[in-house]
């Protein structure tokens, strides 16, 4: 599988915010993950703050990818939905992205919303990843 990040000098330096301008992939399996929020396996919200919920959402993405033989470095795109009330706390998200995607981070969109499914949820993160073929998890080959 081939994966390359694109960060041309003719656009702003998004790397300082923890994401790339584009990611080019070839080969492998394209995986679309449902939006992940800051809850644990028992569906309990991990905390009332943006930092703990952001880190838990990224941990959940990592756990889903691990189940199919992938890891965070396979993520090509993130879509981050955050509630308007935390607009002034974006540095927390930047730091979490920089910590979890230190090299060649994914392309990312940040979207503000009025709310999420539960009132105490502050962030939801969708991910797309490209992983190499791993026959141990494939029960049926793709068409």
CATH number, domain with residue 35:
3.30.1330.40
Q: Which domain holds residue 40?
A: 28-131
Residue 61, in any domain of the structure: yes
Q: What is the 3-state secondary structure (H, E, C) of 21-53?
A: CEEEEECCEEEEEEEEECECCCCCECCCCHHHH
- Residue 61's SS3 state is helix
Question: How many domains is the chain partitioned into structurally?
Answer: 1
Chain segment 32-82, per-residue pLDDT in tens: 999 999 999 999 999 999 999 999 999 999 999 999 889 999 999 999 999
Residue 124, φ and ψ in degrees, nearest 5: -135, 135
Average pLDDT over residues 25-31: 90
Strand partners, 108: 78
For tokens 């584009």, name the residue: 22
Residue 141, in any domain of the structure: no
Whole-number Å distance between alpha carbons of 52 and 92 = 9
Enclosing H/E stretch for 118: none
Residue 16 DSSP class: G
Res. 137 pLDDT band, cuts 50 70 90:
low
Percent of the chain with pLDDT over 90: 85
Which pLDDT value is given to residue 17? 94
Residue 98, in any domain of the structure: yes
75-83 vs 123-131, strand pairing mode = antiparallel
Residue 9, in any domain of the structure: no
Residue 89, in any domain of the structure: yes
């Amino acid at each position: 599988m081939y994966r390359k990040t694109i960060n041309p000098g003719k656009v702003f330096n998004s790397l300082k915010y923890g994401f790339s301008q584009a990611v080019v992939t070839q080969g492998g399996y394209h995986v679309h993950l449902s939006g992940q929020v800051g809850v644990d396996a028992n569906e309990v919200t991990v905390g009332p703050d943006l930092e703990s919920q952001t880190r838990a959402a990224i941990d959940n993405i990592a756990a889903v990818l691990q189940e199919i033989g992938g890891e965070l470095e396979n993520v090509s795109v993130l879509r981050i939905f955050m509630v308007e009330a935390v607009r002034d706390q974006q540095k927390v998200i930047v730091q979490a992205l920089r910590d979890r995607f230190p090299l060649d981070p994914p392309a990312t969109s940040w979207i503000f919303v009025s709310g999420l499914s539960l009132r105490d949820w502050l962030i939801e993160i969708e991910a797309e990843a490209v992983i190499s073929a791993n026959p141990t998890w494939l029960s049926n080959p793709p068409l």
